[in-house]
Structure 1
Amino acid sequence: MKKKLAPYLFLAGPLALYFIWVIYPIFRTFVVSFTRWDGMTRPRFVGWENFIRLFNDRYFILSLLNNFKWMVGFVILSIPLGLFFAMLMDQKYPGHKVYKSLVYLPMALSFVVIGQIWSWVLEPSGGIVNTFLRWMGLESLAKPWLSDPRIVTYSLIWAALWRQVPYAMVLFLAGLQSVDREHVEAAIVDGANAFQRFWYVILPELRPAMVITITVNIIDSLRAFDIVFVMTRGGPYYSSSVMANYMYIQAFHNYRMGYGAAIAVIQFLITLGFILVYVLNVLKREERL
C-alpha cells in the first residue's frame, strides 16, 4: 500500500505549488476580467464589457498588431539566421567552439540586460549605431531609433533578435544531431552539391526541430514585455506597446485591474491556440510513426 502511495506523495508537493502559482492565477484572471476593479475596492461584475471595450480601444489594437510584427520578425528573421549559424557551427574547423560560444553568449543575458545594452547602442546622439553611420558619412541614415513611432517597434525587434537568433541556433543544433549521416554520405556519393544536400536531405530531417523552433519563437513573440518596458515603456504614444506592456499599464498604472485581466485573457487564448496547434502536430506525427 505504501509503495502504491509513494509516487502520488512525491507528486503532491509539486502539483500543489503548480496549482497555487499557475492554475489558480489563471482561473482568477478569468474571473477578474469580467469585473470592474481598481485593486482596492470590491470588484463589480460587468460581464463582457471589458472585452467589448478592448476591441474598440485603438491602443489595444495597436499593441496586438505590434505583437504580430514581433511574431513575423521572430519567424522570418530568427529562423533562417538561427539555421544558418547552426549549419556553420556544426562544422569542424579551428576555433569552432570559441565561435559557437560567442554566438551563444547573448543567451546568457536576460532581456532586461539586453534592453539596457541596446538602449545605449541605439541612443540617438552618442549611440554606437548612429556614431558609426556618421563616421561612414551616412548622416542621413542616422535615426532616433527609439523615439520615432514609425521605426521604434522594428528597433526593439532587432534588439530582441540578438538573443533570439542564438536560441534558434541551439534548437537547430540539437536537431542536426538527429540527421542521419548515412543519408548525407549517400548524397555525396550520388554527386549532390552542398545546397542539394541541405535542401533535399538535411532540411526534411530537420522538420521536427523546425516545428519546435517556429512554435517557441511565436510564443516568445506573444509574451514580449521586458525588453519593451526597459527600452521604451511602450512609447512614444503607445507606438511600441505590446499586449503584455499594455496590460501592465492598464492594471498597475491606471488601476483598471479588470481591463488589464481582459487583455491578459486575450493574450493567453492566442498563445494557447498556437500551443494546441503544436501539440496536435506532434500527436499526428507520432501516430504516423
Structure 2
Amino acid sequence: MVTTRARHAGRPGPRRHTRRDLAVLGVLLGLPILLDLALIWGPTLASVGLSFTTWDGVGDIKGAGLDNYRNLFTDYPPFWPAVRHNLLWLAFLGLLAAPFGLLLAVLIDRGVRFSRFYQSTLYLPVVLSLAVVGFIAQLILSRDQGALNAVIGGKDPTDWLGDPGLNIWMVLLAACWRHTGYVMILYLAGLKSVDPGLKEAAALDGASERQAFFRVVLPTLRPVNVIVGVITVIESLRAFDIVYAVNKGRNGLELLSVLVTDNIIGEAGRIGFGSAIAVVLLLVSLGFIVTYLVQELRGEQQR
C-alpha cells in the first residue's frame, strides 16, 4: 500500500494550461474556423438566403419565395441540359478515368521498366489547371488550326469543339486525361501500403494473380476508394474552367457552374436566380457525397 501511494505520489498530475497556451490554441484553432466561416459557410448561407429574392446586386432586396426555383425547373431552357452534362461528366470520370487510373497504378506498382518516367509523365497533367487543359484542347481540336485536323487532313475539317454533338465528348476526354493521373497517384500510394504477406498467402492458397487482386488487394484499398469516389464527384460537379476556356460553356457545353456565373456576374445580373442554381448544385453535391460516405461507413461497420 505504501509503495502504491508512493508511486502515485511521484506521478505528475495533469498539466494545467496557462493563459499563453490558451491564447495560442485560440489563435491556431480560431483563425481557421473564422476563415472557414467567412469564406465557405458565410457565402453558402448567403446564397441560400438570396435564392429566395429577386436581388440584382444593386437595388433593394425583395423576396420572391419559390419563384426562382419554379422558373429554374420550368422556364429556363439551359438548366436541364446542364444537369445532364454534369451527370455525364460524373459517369465519364467515375466509369472511365477512375478504373483506368487504377489499372495504371497496378501496372506501375509491378515494377515495369521506366516506371518512374511513366509515373511522372502520367501525373504531369494534374499540375495543370483545367483552364490550361482547355487551351491545350483548343490547340489540338480547333477546326481550322488544330493539330488533329492537320494530321487527318481532308477538304472539310471536323469542328471538334464547335459541333454540339462532339464537343462534350472531346472535353470529357481532356478532363479524363487530367483526372486519370490524379487517381493513379492515389491508388499507387495505397498499393505501396498493402502488406506483401497478403499476396504471398493468397498465392500459397492457390489463388491466381487476378483473384488475389480482386479478393485480397482491392478490399484493402477501400479507404482509397472512398477518397477517389468523393474526389470524382467533386471534380465532376465543380467543373467549370475547361468548358469556359473552350467556348464560355455554351453551344453544347452547358454546366451548372457556368449558369451560376452567367447569372451572377454576367450581363443579366440576376443574383437571386443565380443563387438558386448554386443551391441546387450544392444539394446535388451533398446528396452524392453524403450517400456515398454513409454506404462506406455502413460497410466498415458490417466488417
TM-score in same-fold range (> 0.5): yes
1:143 CA displacement: 2.5
Of 234, 239, 246, the match for 2:249: 234
Q: How does 1:75-224 map to 2 (within 5 A)?
A: 75-134=94-153, 143-224=158-239
Q: How does 1:15-54 map to 2 (within 5 A)?
A: 15-54=33-72
**Whole-Å separation in 1 of the counterparts to 2:226 and 2:33:** 29
Cα 1:141/1:165, change in 2 over 3 Å: farther
Match of 2:272 in 1: 258
Number of aligned residue pairs: 283
Greater radius of gyration (CA) = 2
**Whole-Å separation in 1 of the counterparts to 2:206 and 2:302:** 31
1:285 CA displacement: 4.8
1:52 CA displacement: 0.6
Q: Does 1:12 align with 2:23?
A: no
- Greater mean deviation of Cα atoms: 277-286 or 26-35: 277-286
Residues 233, 289 of structure 2: 8 Å contact kept: no
**Whole-Å separation in 2 of the counterparts to 1:140 and 1:155:** 21
1:200 CA displacement: 2.3
Match of 1:270 in 2: 284
Q: Determine helix, strand or coil for the equivalent of 2:78.
A: helix
Residues 219, 274 of structure 1: 8 Å contact kept: no
Query: What is the percent sequence identity of the aligned residues?
Result: 34
Cα 1:208/1:142, change in 2 over 3 Å: farther
Supply the AA of the counterpart residue of 2:95: I
Residues 115, 228 of structure 1: 8 Å contact kept: yes
**Whole-Å separation in 1 of the counterparts to 2:177 and 2:166:** 17
What does the per-residue CA deviation read over 1:99-120, in whole Å, with 9 as the maximum and x for residues that have no partner?
Answer: 1101110011111111111111
Match of 2:13 in 1: none
1:214 CA displacement: 1.9
**Whole-Å separation in 2 of the counterparts to 1:110 and 1:30:** 29
1:4 CA displacement: 4.8
1:279 CA displacement: 3.4
Residues 133, 141 of structure 1: 8 Å contact kept: no
Match of 1:284 in 2: 298
Residues 109, 192 of structure 2: 8 Å contact kept: no
1:19 CA displacement: 1.2
Supply the AA of the counterpart residue of 1:79: A
Supply the AA of the counterpart residue of 1:127: G
Residues 79, 168 of structure 1: 8 Å contact kept: yes
